Amino acid sequence: MAYGLLKGKRGIITGALDEKSIAWKVALKAKEEGATFTLSNAPIAMRMGAIKQLAEQCDAEIISADATSLEDIENLYTKSMDVLGGKIDFVLHSIGMSPNIRKNKPYGDLNYDWYQKSIDVSALSFHKMMQTAEKLDAINEWGSFVALSYIAAQRTFPFYTDMADAKAILESIARGYGYRYGKLKNVRVNTVSQSPTMTTAGSGVGGFDVFYEYAGLMSPLGNATAEDCANYVITLFSDLTRMVTMQNLLHDGGFSSVGISEDMAVKLTQVHQQQQ
């Protein structure tokens, strides 16, 4: 059901790689809620072609941008304002990548060049997107930035290696820039800390299946899906959440507040019984 929550708003949605991507679902919802927006992804992701299908569905233009390149980001804003006919109201940062995770490097054997790449792509790019927007004065008053995070920023999940550090920086940037942009233009900045989700980035993390199942068993509501996440993000782009800023918002079915669940206790009891 659509509510017209984003009627008349202009946005930029990054990170839609394929149908499973969280950004893909956000784009579909944003369209449903009346927004116009551009879609962006790294040049390499463009070649895979799926984003064109989404662009057609959403009647959106695609603007290629490597999120680590200031020049690309500047072009993304300038072109978006041109195509959409004015300043931007919302930006989704849905970008994450760790070469160390891709190459299965454990936390005690990280390649530091790759580490810097992880931080640049997954965290600094958020700062770059806001700093560039500020310089170009590309965002309307009461605009909204959202980036996607994961609870490994606060608690240790060994397989998440350097991405955990990147997410901690990402969340800190949301506070730092949220303060600045709030004072400057009433623009709000938040991160949404999402449940493990079966996407290309998600399932690339070692042991993903196990912590997906674990999080599902621990959360009273189960794991939040990409579509649930999209619904939540839309509220953050809407005028209904104008006073929410500088927050890391846990969108996790209750996972972060549970010590142990009954479902997990049952599972462990079964394991014990099998061992006896």
Active-site residues: which are they?
150, 160
- 96 is an interface residue for ligand NAD by CB under 6 A: yes
As a whole number of angstroms, the distance between CA 3 and CA 127 comes to 31
35 vs 148 by CB, closer to ligand NAD: 148
As a whole number of angstroms, the distance between CA 237 and CA 215 comes to 27
How many residues lie near ligand NAD (CB under 6 A)?
27
**Closest distance of CB 199 from ligand NAD, Å:** 3
- Which single residue is written with the structure tokens 């949301």? 174
Buried b (16+ CB within 10 A) or exposed e, 224-258: bbbebbbebbbbbbbeebeeebbbbbbbbbebbee
Of 26-34, 79-87, 99-107, 146-154, the window that binds ligand NAD (rule: CB under 6 A) is 146-154
- Which single residue is written with the structure tokens 């662009």? 55
Q: Which of residues 22-51 bind ligand NAD (CB under 6 A)?
A: 22-23, 41-42, 45
Q: Which of residues 193-212 bind ligand NAD (CB under 6 A)?
A: 194, 196-197, 199-202
Of 18-26, 81-89, 126-134, 138-146, the window that binds ligand NAD (rule: CB under 6 A) is 18-26
Phi/psi zone of residue 183: left (φ > 0), alpha (ψ -120 to 50 degrees), beta? alpha
**Closest distance of CB 214 from ligand NAD, Å:** 13
**Closest distance of CB 11 from ligand NAD, Å:** 16
Token pair listed for 124: 């600094």
3-state helix, strand, coil in the chain (%, to 5): 55, 15, 30
Which residues contribute to the site for ligand NAD (CB under 6 A)?
14-15, 17, 21-23, 41-42, 45, 66-68, 94-97, 121, 148-150, 194, 196-197, 199-202
